[in-house]
């Protein structure tokens, strides 16, 4: 018989490494920026462990695996090791993770506890009980196999001999080699016998083996004459025996007597150079396999969502009853379903979470989904259901059409929640849940904005007080104090010096004139535009006097409180595209002018860094869900009149990456299309760089009847009969407003789908008439919707129309160039969007235009502060008025947010409470802890 063919582990492992290298290249080409990651955790400093680890690190580098060696000292405790393992388990960049054994610690450590602490999906050594259990059950595709047995199987495959039906003998029963080798051969359909030190008929059993795997740890224990002719012999042993011919005085041998065995076997592995090189190659292969499983599981845009089934009731119960009847999914489940990693999610209880901005970097090479904005015709004071339609649409797209879809909505102020309007979670069977969490504190973002805003307000008055009561040198000594004999400017003070043209960093080097310029902001109290805020409707704070305490030495002034959501900090949050951008915008916020007419900023006050600290968590979008289990981002809630009235850019950007190129992100713009949509396009899209695919324009029969000449609609008062009985004439006449708002949307080059939000008092003829008029006015499509009563099912026609519209030609464009003069930009909006003949700037507005142009703010976008109840400045003018002159009372600047806002008429920034506020009906059940009465 010819001698056995040598199974060279060096050659086969080299082939494996080349194959893995190519797989990694293909992986990184398909997923730019991605690399398989291997972590090796070592305790202590054993020489043999160091050698093995260096071999693994070298192999990983050759293949393209990102390998990280974490070395704990030999003083490490079991708790230290477990803490490190927990961190690596949670790291999404680590796909394979091994603990180098033995653990070289001065402290007692339970090795099995440590190996079982490694996450099974990262346990590329295959040593955890879970992976061992799966292997023993035959779940080979759902576990990791220890590297040595896996290498042995690869060598056996190289022979070309079929394992199935062969008799196999494994000598050794260790957890690392013998036991898993038995299972591996068994589930490859061999008939397997395991032998060990207590086997009395070892030679006899070996003689029956077609395949022999030896891992006994005893030098040349298996003799050649035992071996069945033609057997495959895999020798896993590494033993040292004396050899005087070697310089070291010893040589390495296996567990098989090689020279005699190779005369009997058909294939045999040498020692060294057989199984050894395969072990490292298989570790690399398992790491690549783990990375592939990770990509398959977390492939961007590949969602596996569990949707909630609605149990519809007639009549439709109250909003809070519906919300309570729904059992939301744990928010960490929602996060996992949409492809967020555990370390990208900060849980705030069971139903809400914040999402780290790092997800944008991870997904930066992924294409965006389709971008849809929901707006409306000019509404009644009751609102026409934009939020409800937004939620209904995403429920239809997600739970019924199985598209990846995110809703991005504003966080509501608590003022209206306890005032007259109520909450803003949607309504009926289209809600963000839990609605009490949504409508109340959520994750504290609005409270953080309140604190940040009021810190700026306090800084303004404190600075004026100190400048009025101290000399230049006294101010300087306090602003740049000597600490342990050393005076030093802070970073923000260096920025102020640079702004003043003073290029010095030594506080002792400033001249008297430079000290004066540095310490004196010289704020003109009459120019202060920054007010204190509170998230409560309180009419008695609309005008107040501050500084009446004797400690303020008579320095009092008239001021006011605004509601928190009107703060420029809220607008900054909504338009920022990251923490750094938000901080820069804070620094640019203009709070007043100096007596010389120079803008005074938050940076000048020295408060920018502190604002960033207060807002560092607020910048992260809040994750919630709808009644039917589709994901929602709730983030930012700027006013829709003096600000742009849209949720955050960051939430939209993250959502667009998460849904993938075929998914949808549906966001809502405040008030009617003439206000919220126009600002969405000209301000939000301008700063975000995002381009919308579809406009959904919400219309109701009720609002169209009002525009057609129906009686006034008043919140809290029953509707006149004109609104509850069929009146086609009023509807037809009111469609002038619908036609104009369709024209407004099409002006920006985006397809428009009209959603006719049906109420129970609407007749079929009325609804059909609206659909007909909308299509004739140029809408891409118009459909009736019954989502309030039916959930996503009632918005299916809308969802399908939006899908079709998203494929239609899109020529998005802005209405104006920001480089135009301020007055020209205002006039364009008034004439093109509102239908005005011209504009008229009152003297105060003229002065502000001149001032802002001089201060360098003339190239900012325009954010019109106008009534939402009419296309004109007069809330009593309904329909689509034309030929009017739009009066501009004043112009103000939100420089940090990045826009100028002309005031058309009087804008209240602090609502008041009505005679009977909502809070009369809101209560807490002290036994169950449930909130009652919210809507």
pLDDT digits (tens, 9 = 90+) for 604-656: 999 999 999 999 999 999 999 999 999 999 999 998 888 999 999 999 999 99
Residue 913's pLDDT band (cuts 50, 70, 90): confident
590/599 Cα distance (integer angstroms): 6
**Catalytic pick among 21, 56, 653, 854:** 56
H/E stretch holding 902 reads: strand 899-903
Q: Residues 491, 492, 496, CA angle at the centre, nearest 5°?
A: 120
Q: How confident is the model at residue 907, as a pLDDT?
A: 79
Do 96 and 39 form a contact (C-beta atoms < 8 A)? yes
Residue 422's pLDDT band (cuts 50, 70, 90): low
Pairwise pLDDT comparison (585 vs 198), residue with the higher score: 585
Q: Residues 576, 580, 582, CA angle at the centre, nearest 5°?
A: 35
The region that residue 428 occupies, defined by phi over 0 for left and psi between -120 and 50 for alpha, beta otherwise, is: left
Do 670 and 646 form a contact (C-beta atoms < 8 A)? yes
Q: With a cut of 80, say whether residue 237 has pLDDT above it.
A: yes
785/798 Cα distance (integer angstroms): 7
Q: With a cut of 80, say whether residue 832 has pLDDT above it.
A: yes
Q: With a cut of 70, say whether residue 704 has pLDDT above it.
A: yes
Which pairs from 460-464 meet CB under 8 Å and 24+ separation? Answer: 460/523, 460/528, 460/530, 460/591, 460/592, 460/605, 461/546, 461/547, 461/557, 463/521, 463/523, 463/605, 464/521, 464/523, 464/525, 464/555
Average pLDDT over residues 290-294: 93
Pairwise pLDDT comparison (419 vs 659), residue with the higher score: 659
The torsion angles phi and psi of 907, rounded to 5 degrees, stand at -110, 120
Q: How confident is the model at residue 421, as a pLDDT?
A: 63
Clarify whether 56 is annotated catalytic. Answer: yes
How far does the chain reach from its first CA to its final CA, in angstroms? Answer: 89
Q: How confident is the model at residue 382, as a pLDDT?
A: 87
397/403 Cα distance (integer angstroms): 5
813/685 Cα distance (integer angstroms): 10
Q: With a cut of 90, say whether residue 205 has pLDDT above it.
A: yes
Q: With a cut of 90, say whether residue 298 has pLDDT above it.
A: no
- Mean pLDDT value across the chain: 94
118/124 Cα distance (integer angstroms): 10
Torsion angle, CA of 894/898/902/904, rounded to 10 degrees?
Answer: -90
Pairwise pLDDT comparison (888 vs 198), residue with the higher score: 888
Tell me if residue 234 falls in helix, strand or coil: strand
835/829 Cα distance (integer angstroms): 9
- For the chain, the C-alpha Rg in angstroms (whole number) is 36
278/345 Cα distance (integer angstroms): 39
For CA atoms 665, 670, 672, 676, the dihedral sign is negative
Tell me if residue 769 falls in helix, strand or coil: helix
455/611 Cα distance (integer angstroms): 8
pLDDT in tens, 663-681: 999 999 989 999 999 999 9
For CA atoms 411, 415, 416, 422, the dihedral sign is positive
Least confident of 248-257, 457-466, 821-830: 248-257
Q: Provide DSSP, 128-186.
A: SHHHHHHHHHT-GGGS---HHHHHHHHHHHHTT---TT-EEEEE---TTTHHHHHHHHH
Tell me if residue 617 falls in helix, strand or coil: coil
Residue 553 in tokens: 């030495």
Residues 6+ apart with CB under 8 A from 611: 452, 455, 456, 569, 583, 586, 602
pLDDT in tens, 519-535: 999 999 999 999 999 99
Q: How confident is the model at residue 676, as a pLDDT?
A: 95
613/514 Cα distance (integer angstroms): 30
Q: How confident is the model at residue 423, as a pLDDT?
A: 66
Do 248 and 118 form a contact (C-beta atoms < 8 A)? no
DSSP assignment letter at 109 = -
Q: With a cut of 70, say whether residue 598 has pLDDT above it.
A: yes
Average pLDDT over residues 186-195: 96
392/795 Cα distance (integer angstroms): 6
Residue 898, burial from CB neighbour count under 10 angstroms (0-12, 13-18, 19+) = buried
139/187 Cα distance (integer angstroms): 9
Average pLDDT over residues 384-395: 96
Residue 848 in tokens: 């502000």
- Provide the 10 A C-beta neighbour count for residue 878: 26
């Amino acid at each position: 018989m010819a001698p056995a063919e040598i199974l060279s582990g060096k050659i086969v492992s080299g082939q494996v490494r080349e194959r893995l290298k190519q797989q990694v290249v293909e992986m990184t080409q398909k997923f730019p920026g991605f690399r398989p990651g291997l972590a090796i955790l070592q305790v202590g400093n054993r020489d043999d462990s160091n050698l093995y680890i260096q071999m693994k690190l070298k192999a990983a580098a050759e293949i393209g695996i990102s390998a990280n060696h974490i070395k704990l000292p030999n003083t490490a405790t079991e708790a230290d090791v477990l803490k490190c393992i927990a961190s690596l388990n949670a790291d999404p960049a680590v796909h394979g993770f091994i603990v180098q054994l033995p653990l070289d610690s001065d402290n007692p450590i339970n090795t099995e506890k440590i190996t079982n602490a490694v996450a099974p999906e990262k346990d590329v050594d295959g040593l955890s009980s879970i992976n061992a259990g799966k292997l023993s059950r035959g779940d080979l595709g759902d576990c990791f196999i220890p590297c040595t047995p896996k290498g042995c199987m690869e060598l056996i495959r190289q022979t070309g001999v079929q394992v199935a039906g062969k008799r196999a003998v494994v000598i050794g029963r260790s957890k690392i080699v013998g036991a898993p080798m038995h299972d591996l051969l068994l589930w490859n359909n061999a008939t397997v016998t395991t032998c060990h030190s207590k086997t009395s008929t070892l030679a006899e059993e070996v003689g029956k083996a077609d395949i022999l795997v030896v891992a006994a740890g005893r030098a040349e224990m298996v003799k050649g004459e035992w071996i069945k002719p033609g057997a495959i012999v895999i020798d896993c042993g590494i033993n040292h025996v004396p050899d005087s011919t070697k310089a070291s005085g010893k040589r390495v041998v296996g567990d098989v007597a090689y020279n005699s065995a190779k005369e009997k076997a058909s294939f045999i592995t040498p020692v060294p150079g057989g199984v050894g090189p395969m072990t490292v190659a298989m570790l690399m292969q398992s790491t690549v396999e783990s990375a592939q499983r990770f990509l398959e599981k977390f492939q961007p845009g590949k969602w596996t969502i569990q949707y909630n089934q609605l149990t519809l009731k007639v009549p439709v119960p109250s909003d809070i009853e519906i919300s309570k009847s729904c059992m939301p999914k744990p928010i960490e489940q929602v996060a996992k379903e949409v492809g967020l990693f555990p370390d990208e999610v900060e849980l705030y209880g069971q139903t809400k979470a914040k999402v780290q901005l790092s997800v944008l970097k991870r997904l930066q090479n992924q294409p965006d989904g389709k971008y849809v904005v929901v707006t409306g015709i000019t509404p009644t004071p009751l609102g026409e259901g934009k939020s409800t339609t937004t939620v209904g649409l995403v429920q239809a797209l997600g739970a019924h059409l199985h598209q990846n879809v995110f809703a991005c909505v504003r966080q509501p102020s608590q003022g209206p929640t306890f005032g007259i309007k109520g909450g803003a979670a949607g309504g009926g069977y289209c809600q963000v849940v839990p609605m009490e969490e949504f409508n109340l504190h959520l994750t504290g973002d609005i409270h953080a904005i309140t604190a940040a805003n009021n810190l700026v307000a306090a800084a303004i008055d404190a600075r004026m007080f100190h400048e009025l009561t101290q000399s230049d040198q006294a101010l300087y000594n306090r602003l740049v104090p000597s600490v342990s004999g050393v005076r030093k400017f802070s970073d923000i003070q260096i920025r102020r010096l640079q702004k003043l043209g003073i290029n010095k960093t030594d506080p002792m080097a400033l001249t008297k004139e430079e000290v004066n310029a540095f310490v004196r902001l010289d704020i003109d109290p009459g120019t202060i535009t920054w007010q204190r805020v509170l998230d409560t409707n309180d009419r008695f704070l609309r005008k107040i006097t501050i500084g009446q305490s004797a400690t303020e030495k008579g320095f009092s002034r008239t001021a006011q409180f605004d509601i928190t959501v009107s703060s420029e900090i809220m607008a900054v949050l909504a338009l920022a595209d990251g923490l750094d951008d938000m901080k820069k915008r804070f620094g640019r916020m203009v709070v007043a002018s100096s007596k010389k007419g120079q803008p005074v900023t938050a940076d000048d006050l020295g408060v920018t860094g502190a604002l960033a600290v207060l807002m560092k968590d607020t910048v992260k979008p809040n994750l919630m869900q709808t009644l039917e289990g589709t994901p929602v981002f709730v983030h930012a809630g700027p006013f829709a009149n003096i600000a742009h009235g849209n949720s955050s850019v960051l939430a939209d950007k993250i959502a667009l990456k998460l849904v993938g190129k075929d998914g949808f992100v549906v966001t809502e713009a405040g008030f009617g299309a003439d206000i919220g949509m126009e600002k969405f396009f000209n301000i939000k899209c301008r700063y975000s760089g995002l381009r919308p695919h579809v406009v959904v324009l919400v219309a109701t029969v009720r609002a169209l009847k009002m525009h057609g000449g129906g009686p006034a609609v008043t919140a809290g008062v029953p509707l006149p009969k004109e609104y509850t009985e069929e009146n086609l004439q009023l509807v037809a006449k009111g469609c002038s407003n619908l036609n104009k708002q369709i024209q407004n949307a099409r002006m920006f080059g985006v397809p428009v789908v009209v959603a006719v939000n049906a109420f129970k008092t609407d007749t079929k003829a009325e609804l059909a008439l609206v659909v007909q008029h909308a299509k004739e006015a140029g809408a891409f499509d118009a459909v009736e919707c019954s989502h309030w009563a039916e959930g996503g099912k009632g918005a299916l026609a809308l969802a399908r129309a939006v899908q079709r519209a998203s494929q239609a030609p899109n020529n998005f464009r802005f209405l104006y160039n920001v480089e135009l003069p301020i007055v020209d930009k205002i006039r364009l909006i008034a004439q093109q969007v509102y239908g005005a003949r011209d504009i008229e700037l009152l003297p105060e507005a003229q002065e502000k235009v001149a001032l802002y142009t001089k201060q360098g703010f003339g190239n900012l976008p325009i954010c019109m502060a106008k009534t939402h109840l009419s296309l004109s400045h007069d809330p009593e003018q309904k329909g689509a008025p034309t030929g009017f002159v739009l009066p501009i009372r004043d112009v103000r600047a939100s420089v940090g947010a990045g826009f100028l806002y002309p005031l058309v008429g009087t804008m209240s920034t602090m609502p008041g409470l009505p005679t009977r506020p909502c809070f009369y009906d809101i209560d807490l059940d002290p036994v169950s802890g449930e909130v009652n009465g919210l809507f």
